[in-house]
Chain A
C-alpha cells in the first residue's frame, strides 16, 4: 500500500512538473521561432527540414525536365513550391528562385508568395525577396502596380544588402522609376517630367518635418540624387519625334533648376554644366552667361578670389 502511494505521488508530481515545463518551453519556442507551430501540422516526425531539402532537389530536377513553366505545368510548379514552403518557410532560396520561375506564367501567385516571405520575421534581413517582388509588380503583372512595386523596393532598400550581386543600386533606380510612373499616371503627364518632379520631391523629402511616411525609403541622403535630377531635367528638355516639352514643363524645370542648382552654372537650353570663361555651350551652341573671368584683363580665373594676372579682386 505504501509502495503504491509512493508510486502515485511520484507519477502525479512528475506529470505536473513536466506539463508546466513543457508548456513554458512551447511558448518559448514559439517566441524564438514564429511559424514553427504551423509546421507541426505536417506529421513527419520533426523531419521537416530534411524533407524540404529532398523536395527542393526533386523540384529542381522537375524544373530541369520541363522546357519552361507554361499554362500546362504551372499548377504543378505552384503545388511543389507551396509544399516546399510549408515544410521550410525560412529558406530564402525557395522564394528567390522558386517564385521567379512562376513570375511569367502566374505573376499574381508569385507576388503572393513573395509578399508572405517579405512579412516572414525570420527573413527580415533579406533584401532580394522584396526586390524580386517589386520587379514582378513592375514588369510582370498585366497592369503594373507601381505603388506596390515602390513599396517593395522601399522595403528592400531599408534592409542590409547581403546579396551575391549588390542590388541596392538597381533597387534605388527601380524605386524612383516606380514613383515616377505612379506620378505620371496620377497626373497624366509624360514620364520624363514626372521623373523630374519625383526626384525633386524625394530631395525635398528629408527636409520636411512630420509629413513623411515612416516606412518610405529616404532618398534625400543619396549622394547621387542631385546628379539623377540633373540628368532627368536634361532628358526632359530634349525634343524628339515622340516628345515635345510643354511650356509649363519648361517653366517648372527652370524653377527647380533655380532652387536646386543655384550654385551651378548650367546651360539654359540643354542643362549641361559649363566651365569658367565659356561664352557658348560646347554641347548645343547656346549663348551662355560667362563666369570666372577677370573684369579688368579678361583672364579666366575660375573660383579664385583675385586675378593671378592683374591682381584685381574677383566679383562676388
Chain B
C-alpha cells in the first residue's frame, strides 16, 4: 500500500517537471502541465480499474471466492462489493493525483485553476464507474491472463466509438463511449462546460455500470466456481 502512495508522489513530481519545458515547448509549458496531469489521472484510473481483473480472477482460482460464497453472501452481493470497492479505490487514487496536480498548477501559475479543469478531473473520476463494470464483466468471462489485456484494449477502443454514433443501442449502450468523459482539450483552453453535461455523464456512466454489472451478475450466478 505504501508503494501506491509513493507512486502517487512520483506522478506529482512528473507533473511538476513539465514546468521545465518552457523553452522546448516555446512557452506552452502551462498547457503541458495541465495535459500531463490529466493524462496521469487517466492512467491512474485505468490502472486501478485493471487491478480488479487480477483480483477477481485470483480469488476465483485460489478458491477464496468459493469459501466467501459458502457463507450467506450472495454472488450478486460479492460482485457489487468488488465493483463498489474498486470504484472507491479508483476515486481515492485519482483524486489524490488530481488534487496534487491542482496544487502544483496553482503554485506555478496562480489563477489558472479554472472550473473547466475541475470538471475535466471530475469526468475522469466518473469514467471509473463504467470502466470498473467492464473490468468486472471481463474478469468473469475471460481467463485470468487475458482479462486484464482485454479490459485494456476495450477501454482504449471505447474512446474511438464515434463511428458508431448513428447506430442506436449499440452506440453508448452495449459499447460505452468513454470519449464523452474526455474533455481534456476543453480544460487547457478553458472552454465552458455546463454542469448539466457533467451530471448527465455521471448518470450515463452509472446506467452503463448497471447494465454491465447485471450482465456480470447473471453470468456469475450460472458459473461453476468449484
Cβ contact within 8 Å between B201 and A16: no
A23 touches B168 (CB 8 A): yes
B160 at the interface (CB under 8 A from A): yes
Stretch at the interface among A47-55, A109-117, A150-158, A182-190: A47-55
Interface membership of B141, Cβ < 8 A = no
A21 touches B35 (CB 8 A): no
Which of A24-32, A203-211, A226-234, A287-295 lies at the binding interface? A24-32
Tell me if B178 and A10 are in contact (CB < 8 A). no
Number of A-B contacts (CB under 8 A): 157
For chain A, residues 7 to 27, give those with C-beta under 8 angstroms from any C-beta of chain B: 7, 10-11, 14-19, 21-26
Main secondary structure of the interface of B (DSSP, over half): helix
Q: Is there contact, CB below 8 Å, between B177 and A3?
A: no
Residue from A18, A24, A40, A45 in contact with B162 in the complex, judged by beta carbons closer than 8 Å = A40
Which label, helix, strand, loop or mixed, suits the secondary structure of the A interface?
helix
Question: Which residues, 104 to 125 on A, are CB-close (under 8 Å) to B?
Answer: 122
Interface string of A46-70 (1 = CB under 8 A from B): 1111100100110011000000000
Give A4 to B215 CA distance when docked, in angstroms.
Answer: 10
Closest to B219 in A: A7
Given known A-B contacts A15-B174, A23-B168, A26-B165, A56 and B28 have beta carbons under 8 A apart? yes
* A88 and B185 contacting across the interface, CB-CB below 8 Å: yes
Cα A7 to Cα B178 in complex, Å, equals 24
> Which partner residue on chain A sits nearest B18 by CB separation?
A53
Contact of A37 among B156, B162, B200 (CB under 8 A): B162
Q: Which residues on the B side are within 8 Å of A17 (C-beta)?
A: 207
In the complex, given contacts A36-B185, A41-B162, what are 20 additional A-B residue pairs having Cβ atoms less than 8 angstroms apart? A3-B221, A7-B214, A14-B211, A16-B169, A18-B176, A18-B207, A22-B171, A23-B168, A25-B197, A25-B201, A25-B204, A28-B197, A37-B162, A39-B185, A45-B155, A47-B42, A47-B184, A50-B39, A57-B32, A61-B24
